[in-house]
Amino acid sequence: MPKLPTLKWRTPPAGYRERLARWFDIWKYELELRRENPEYAKPPPALPPESRTKHMGFGQRHPFDADLLATGQIRLLGPGVLPQSRRPVYVAVLSEWEDGMFLIAPFGPFMEPATTSEWLTGRDAFPLRVLCLWNAHTVPRSSLAESWEVDDLSPQELADARSVFDHVFTGDPLSDRLLDRVGCPVVHPNDPRIAYQQEEARQMAPLAVAAREYVCQITQPTEEPTTLAAVLEDLTAVFRSRARKWAAASGEKNKHKKVWDSGQEIAPFRCVVYRESNGDLRLSFSSTDHTHENQTFEVVVKEQTRPTVTFLRDSETGELFGEVLIPHAKLPPDGLSRLTFRLKKP
């Protein structure tokens, strides 16, 4: 009988069963509250913006201070940012990307972390006890225009939050210290925590919509590239939109370089980069230059990996395309944020 290598499994954190039981206990209370108090369960009423009369008899609110927006802040979103929210939503600003985009994660409604993607901050204040990294969003500065700074994360808190974020989006293992401060994994398809996450995700949907619109706006190609310079510029634009995803996944500020073999004219290529759930990278190339049909190029990653990509014609669209998969194991060990690759004629 074949013997498998002996895998070394992590020791579950002490008290994980109790933590799960406590989370369900509070969720049970929450469901009871909703059943017993129909008003409690409803999303807050809101008039259409044109019908609102601001500050009628309610005094002056403190001005928003988004001009002070910076990484490491804890901010309270203004009452109009998430119309469906029944509670004040605080967010941690985890990173600033390029083009005025920020990575933020909301603090959760409960005092226990639900899953391994929620982190117990160790703070005493109820609204800031649990940070939900699974619900992180990249948002434009304008989405945070109506918010107030209320506190800062310490450097250690910021580093821990980013580590949990990396764990969620790239599968990086958590340290034992952080594993002690997150919830339990979801292993059952009918786990009620899935419904809880769906609720929380819906609440943040306006931010996701705003981010999508903003990205579409800034990555809209202006004209068809015709020269090498224009091609590279266009290529850069496509890369940048995806690069943000890598940067989001790595939790580091975007420092990507796009290095192309400049020794020859490479006409209009586009590349979209997908990161698979197992960490593999899928590079999807297309070309509008029909002379590339059936031509093969090398994809050079860090001068090490040289898979080839052949451009084939799609019988329906007439577009030339080719894909290449770079296995996770062959990616540079120093992370995606410093990935460079070239497309080269052999």
Partner 1 sequence: MPTLKAWLEWREQCAFALCKTQTHAEMSGFITPIIVEQVRKRDRNLLPLADGGHSGLPNQACHLFETYMHATSGKTGKRWKDWLFGKADEAGASEEGKLAALECQAANACMSGARDHARQEGWYHRNPKLSRKKDDLDRPATGDPDGPTLGDLLPDPSSFGLDPSGEAAANEMEMIAVREAEGYFATLPPRSKVVLWARVTEQPLSAEEVLRFAGCRKSTLCKHEEQTPLLASLKIVASSLEAKYGPENPPEDVRELIARVIHRLGRLCLEEFSSGKKGEQLTLLK
Q: Which of residues 193-222 bind partner 1 (CB under 8 A)?
A: none
Site for partner 1 in 257-296 (CB under 8 A): 276, 278, 280, 282
Is residue 220 exposed (0-12), middle (13-18) or buried (19+ Cβ within 10 Å)? Answer: exposed
According to CB under 8 A, which residues from 165 to 194 bind partner 1? Answer: 173, 179, 184-188, 190-192
Q: Tell whether the torsion through CA atoms of 98, 205, 276 and 282 is positive or negative.
A: negative
For partner 1, the closer CB: 128 or 161 = 128
**Residues ≥6 apart with Cβ < 8 Å to 149:** 65, 68, 69, 73, 74, 75
- Check binding of 312 to partner 1 (CB under 8 A): yes
Residue 236 binding partner 1, by CB under 8 A: no
In sequence order, the 6+-apart residues with CB closer than 8 A to the CB of 257 are 338, 340
Per the structure block, which two tokens stand in for 291?
Answer: 């002379």
Q: Assess contact for 90 and 147: CB atoms under 8 A.
A: no
Footprint on residues 82-111 left by partner 1 (CB under 8 A): 83, 86-88, 90, 109-111
Position among 198, 306, 314, 338 found at the interface with partner 1 (CB under 8 A): 314
Give the residue with the Cβ less far from partner 1, 241 or 310: 310
Nearer to partner 1, 151 or 298 (CB): 151
Q: How far is the CB of 31 from partner 1 (least distance, A)?
A: 6
Residue 144 binding partner 1, by CB under 8 A: no
Neighbours of 34 (CB within 10 A): 13
Task: Kindly tell me which residue out of 84, 126, 261, 293 binds partner 1, with binding defined by CB under 8 A.
Answer: 126
User: In the complex, what is the shortest distance from the CB of residue 98 to partner 1, in angstroms, rounded to a whole number?
Assistant: 28
Tokens of 133: 């990294």
Q: Does 128 bind partner 1 (CB under 8 A)?
A: yes
Total residues contacting partner 1 (rule CB under 8 A)? Answer: 96
Q: What distances in angstroms separate CA 183 from CA 14, 120, 135, 158, 178, one per listed residue?
A: 11, 8, 15, 19, 10
Asked if 322 interacts with partner 1 (CB under 8 A), we say: yes
CA distance 177 to 179: 6
Q: Which of 38, 50, 54, 223 binds partner 1 (CB under 8 A)?
A: 54
Residue 62 or 223 with smaller CB distance to partner 1: 62
What is the closest distance, in whole angstroms, from the C-beta atom of residue 302 to partner 1 in the complex? 20
Candidates 105, 238, 247, 324: give the one binding partner 1 (CB under 8 A). Answer: 324
From 32, 50, 49, select the one nearest 41 (Cα to Cα): 32
Find the binder of partner 1 among 96, 98, 99, 152 (CB under 8 A). 152
337, 245 contact by CB (below 8 A): no
Cα–Cα distance, 172 to 163 (Å, whole number) = 8
Closer residue to partner 1 in complex, CB, 99/149: 149
Q: How far apart are CA 252 and CA 269, in angstroms?
A: 27
Shortest spacing between CB 187 and partner 1, in angstroms: 5
Minimum distance between the CB of residue 322 and partner 1, rounded to whole angstroms? 7
